[in-house]
Structure 1
Amino acid sequence: MVRLRRRTALGLLLGGAAASVLAPVDPVLGRPHDAPPARRQVPPARRQAPPVERENRAPGEPWWPPEGGRPADDRRRQIQGYASTTSVAPGGVIDFHVAVNPAGRFRVSVHRLGWYAGAGARTMLTSPELRGVPQPVPVADPVTGALDCRWPVSWRLPVPKGWASGLYQAVFTSASGWRSSTPFVVRDDRRAAALCVVLPVTTWQAYNQWPRDRRVGRSLYNGYRPDGRRDPALRARAVSFDRPYSGAGLPIHADRDEDAIRWLERNRYDVSYATSFDLHSGRLDPSRHRGLVFCGHDEYWSAEMRRAAEAGLAAGTSLAFLGANSVYWHVRVHPGGSGRPERVVECAKTPPDPGADEGWPTVTWRDLDRPEQALLGVQYNGIVLSPQPLVVRSADHWVWAGAGVADGDRIPGLVVGEADGLNAGVARPGQPGETTLSSSPYPAQQGGRRLQSSHVYETPRGAVVFATGTLGWTMALDRRGHRDPRIERATANVLDRIVGRSHTT
């Protein structure tokens, strides 16, 4: 485990200065007997811990899988729901739309995900008992295939002003014990943390096949044929947030973000949280933070998201991509059928693109002559057939400092899922000091063997851009059976450089 000093991004003093040994204090004068009044000693001020660090001092408890609960499924849809927004500030309001089949009583419990001494979450509150009824699966939009539920509001939550920024899960539990959930983020619009974790909700929704019933469910990847088989030709060209996540409501790939969240909070980084839509809309201003952290699989980016990230980088905000296949598809964002903003993600991927007259077509960023490698330094190059070791390169670089690695060392099982690599024929950032940190052969689903690479560079303004190039990186931070101290140290080296924090071995 990497052990880190508790120093803030602004370089403040370590929390808890050593106590001075003072002479006995006079009970009347309030000063040492032998000290003149003019030299009264004042103890140094203690550092105020950031909000998320204070939050983690509270006792926690695991939030999933629920003891005694049964996960809901998409065929019977015993209980499922969705939130009215992907993020909310303390003092704001979030609505939950819940369907219960058959009709009956249910409750909503809200949990914040974090470290909490290893518990992984804290239960924040539970709703009163509510009445739920079945709700229909909507007919898909005939042009885009989007499924827009428009269910009525079941419960409204005014978010307490004292809640810390974070990833939250609302868990819906029926009287008969069926459970499902939906995620949302509490932002911190008042205080600029050193790091802002940007959760990839556009990618979570792109993979959402709700309802996974072998009949009508659609994602940006597949639809269903009459025989119940998934077919990419029947995929949706737009997906709506006004629907549950499939099954028990756990977005595909979100566990990678959770691994990183636990590690960041365990190591007491000064963090806050936002979503892809916050970056898209301007609610998240990158210039307010030392760095933005994109933890997991962050594949779907709007033009507004990319412009904001690149503007922040030009102004000196660092970018850390802890996953792979980032900034791959260009998307458009639209209001939902109810008129609420940021409820539909559109990505046709191939012609025809019904909305192409509104701007760039929704194809890969490479097809728009804006390859992701120009920003990240590497780009997606394949699906990894089986877990492979990450092969260390440039072991003398500061990213690997203290990790105890040498060139050619193999860190087992780290190259998994999807991988990035260098493409010699594609534009690169063009910054001095660009460094390839790994060169890892892997068998690709697309055929043959390819090379995974992690990468880092720094801009003239001192910003760092780091890309791990694998979906296995965050697993090595805090997932049981996968943790690796070498990856923990390398990650700490990157983030400490971004926020200006020192650490001990």
Structure 2
Amino acid sequence: MTSEHIRRWESGALAHAVTDPFGLGPVPWLRGSETYFDDTGHVVPWYVDPIQPAPATTRYGRPGARVPAPRSAGPGPRSADDVGRQIKGFASTGAVAPGEAIDFHITVDPPQEFSVDIYRIGHYAGHGAAKITTSPRLSGIVQSAPLAADRTVSCHHWWLSWRLQVPAEWRVGAYVAVLTTADGYRSHVPFTVRDDEPADLLLLLPDITWQAYNLYPEDGRTGASLYHAWDEDGSLLGEADAATTVSFDRPYAGAGLPLHVGHAYDFIRWAERYGYDLAYADARDLHAGRIDPTRYRGLVFPGHDEYWSVPMRRAVEEARDRGTSLVFLSANTMYWQVELSPSASGVPDRLLTCRKRKGPGRPVLWREIDRPEQQVIGIQYAGRVPEPHPLIVRNADHWLWDATGAREGDEIAGLVAGEADRYFPRTALPEHEERVLLAHSPYIDGEGVRRHQETSLYRAPSGAWVFASGTFAWSPALDRPGHVDARVQRATANLLDRICKRD
């Protein structure tokens, strides 16, 4: 790899890491076999995100990020990247029903055989996932380079590599296709299996937000997300020069898992361990009306879910007003308004557009069009939290804190992290029968200003509960190594139990 490619790869890693301190989270099928030495000689355990940067400088003297070398020391696979494109792929759809087919489009360089292992995320006696099936050995080819037009990158022209017919008996859930070349490089493609069977809770995976952050390809030349793009020198540009439209017809950057996917996987492992009755769907299913959210006792939004379309918000508001509870386990939810449109070949919902004040049309922050997210969630985005701070318990006599051991003013270390929400007094609240703030937590923002985070719960006139954690760190506290907190686990169980019992 040339030094120029190294510099670009460093920039890409920096772009990947600035928004979420929890990264991808544990990749469960690596458990037990992936302790390895990074390029400084330190031992790195299996659950460390290899994309997390450390301070460094580029060869031009500018601040950059250092990325561990591919995992070549010792036996085991190595992570593919967007410079070498050793193996990369994407799926034809985000969610598929049992009995339907899902197509995978995969590039392999150099051309060689590869296989696809399908895993389902869950508790599985602590393993975090289970292998469900394996493809036959497949012939890999080098697909054409990604196409780019006005910073919209697409691989819609890639040939079909493998079609998976999902058996009718497969369980609904979050799945990952693990792509592995004969010479030991690995990449990933997430997808969802959903059906129309009844369940207590519907888990909605935020694939729209995942795609908004996707910088594929992180090659220093072509890749673009709604946040970043590259200039002619391979330096990373900010939002003013980023894409306004991104395509789902492309792999995810780096190892192929979305930036924020760990939040959802943390909740899934915990919820399935304790036997909650879950259905699964993607944000695009909610947008397209492929699911009826009013059929469930509660909707769970497990991770960073920042980008919402008009149909998504309308469906959720209707569900709440008809008695379906809402559980928002992260922060910065429903911040940007987006549009979904078909691909050039007419496949629905393959292009995601968010103008971010660029070009004609109205601004697309929900709060700027007189529809602040607080009117649904009860609180709304306040800003980033550069360093983790404790969550300060408030109203400890409330039933949500029952049996947690939490007392008024107790600190839950590190639970305010990443980004934070709070109550905005000058912004209208949703209609409610009762309302309580369950945490009030000071922190210092990136400019050194003292701010605060809040956790909110209200009951709508329909009887629906609406909970918002107000922090990125809530889901990781359920089942993330090094972050688990029994008080958060119990509080979440108190909430879901009450929702499932319609109390």
What range is the shorter-chain TM-score in?
0.7 to 0.9
Counterpart of 1:203 in structure 2 is: 209
1:79 aligns with 2:87: yes
**Residue of structure 2 equivalent to 1:322:** 329
DSSP-derived class of the 2:147 partner: coil
Deviation for aligned residue 1:267: 0.7
How do 1:52-451 and structure 2 match up within 5 A?
62-64=28-30, 68-142=76-150, 145-189=152-196, 191-232=197-238, 233-353=240-360, 356=361, 361=362, 363-445=364-446, 447-451=448-452
Cα distance in 2 for residues equivalent to 1:134 and 1:148: 12
Gaps of 5+ in 2: 1-26, 35-75
Shift in Å, 1:227: 2.2
> 1:432 offset after TM fit, Å?
2.9
Q: Is the 8 A contact 1:382 1:445 kept in 2?
A: no
Aligned to 1:23: none
Secondary structure of 1:310's partner?
helix
* Distance in 1, Cα, partners of 2:369 & 2:141: 46
1:139 to partner: Cα distance: 3.0
Aligned CA distance change for structure 1 residues 88 and 401 (closer, same or farther; 3 Å): same
The one-letter amino acid of 2:128's match is G
**Cα contact 2:174–2:192 (8 A) shared by 1:** yes
Q: Distance in 1 between matches of 2:290 and 2:156?
A: 26
Give yes or no for contact 1:198–1:294 (8 Å, CA) kept in 2. Answer: yes
**Partner Cα distance (1:140, 1:402) in 2:** 54
Amino acid across the alignment from 2:228: N
Contact residue 78 and residue 100 of structure 1 kept, 8 A: yes
- Higher strand fraction (1 or 2): 2
Instruction: Report deviation, 1:261.
Output: 0.5
Q: TM-score normalised to the size of structure 1?
A: 0.84
Superposed displacement of residue 229, structure 1: 1.7
Tell me if the contact between 2:431 and 2:460 (Cα under 8 Å) persists in the aligned partners. Answer: no
Aligned-pair distance for 1:478? 0.5
Secondary structure of the corresponding residue to residue 120 of structure 2? strand
Instruction: Give the residue type in structure 1 aligned to 2:95.
Output: S
One-letter code aligned to 2:273: R
Whole-Å separation in 2 of the counterparts to 1:340 and 1:150: 13
Tell me by how many angstroms 1:324 deviates: 0.4
Question: For 2:119 and 2:339, how far apart are their aligned partners in 1?
Answer: 31
Q: Secondary structure at the match of 2:457?
A: strand
SS in 2 for 1:112: strand
| Deviation of the 1:337 alpha carbon | 2.4
Q: Following TM superposition, by how much is the alpha carbon of 1:459 offset from its aligned partner in structure 2, in angstroms?
A: 1.4
- 1:500 paired to 2:466: no
Instruction: Indicate if the aligned counterparts of 1:378 and 1:455 stay in contact, CA closer than 8 A.
Output: yes
Instruction: Give the TM-score normalised by the residue count of structure 2.
Output: 0.84
Q: Which runs of 4+ in 1 moved over 4 A?
A: none
Distance 1:373 1:348, change over 3 A: same
The residue type paired with residue 87 of structure 1 is A
Residues 477 and 488 in structure 1, CA contact (< 8 A), matched pair in contact too: yes
Post-superposition offset of 1:429:
1.2
Taking the aligned partners of 2:426 and 2:148, their CA distance within structure 1 comes to 41
Q: Distance in 1 between matches of 2:327 and 2:145?
A: 39
Cα deviations across residues 296-325 of structure 1 (Å, max 9, x unaligned)? 000000000000000000100000000000
Q: Are 2:113 and 2:138, in contact at CA under 8 Å, matched by a contact in 1?
A: yes
SS for the counterpart of 2:84 is: coil
Structure 1 range deviating more: 113-122 or 443-452: 443-452
Question: Equivalent residue for 1:486?
Answer: 487
Q: How does 1:459-470 map to 2 (within 5 A)?
A: 459-470=460-471
Deviation of 1:461 after TM superposition, in Å, equals: 1.9
User: What secondary structure is seen at the aligned counterpart in 2 of 1:269?
Assistant: coil
Letter aligned with residue 172 of structure 1: L
Amino acid corresponding to residue 219 of structure 2 in structure 1: D
Aligned partners of 1:296, 1:80: CA distance in 2, in Å?
Answer: 25
Counterpart of 1:27 in structure 2 is none
In structure 2, the residue matched to 1:45 is none
Contact 1:137 1:149 in 2 (8 A): no
Q: Which stretch of the first structure deviates more once superposed, 422-431 or 101-110?
A: 422-431
Deviates more, 1:148-157 or 1:94-103: 148-157
**1:148 CA drift (Å):** 4.1
1:362 CA displacement: 6.0
SS for the counterpart of 2:259 is coil
Q: State the alpha-carbon separation in 1 of the partners of residues 302 and 446 from structure 2.
A: 24
8 Å CA contact 2:122, 2:129 repeated in 1: yes
1:44: which partner in 2? none
Kept in 2, the 8 Å contact 1:146–1:237? The answer is no
Deviations 1:24-50 (A, max 9, x none): xxxxxxxxxxxxxxxxxxxxxxxxxxx
- Indicate the structure (1 or 2) with the bigger Cα radius of gyration: 1
* Secondary structure in structure 1 of the residue aligned to 2:396: coil
Mapped to 2, the partners of 1:286 and 1:371 lie a distance apart of 22
State percent identity of aligned pairs.
52
* Contact preservation (8 Å) 2:176, 2:189: yes
Question: 1:346–1:362: 8 Å Cα contact kept in structure 2?
Answer: no
Rounded to whole Å, the distance in 2 between the matches of 1:209 and 1:351 is 19
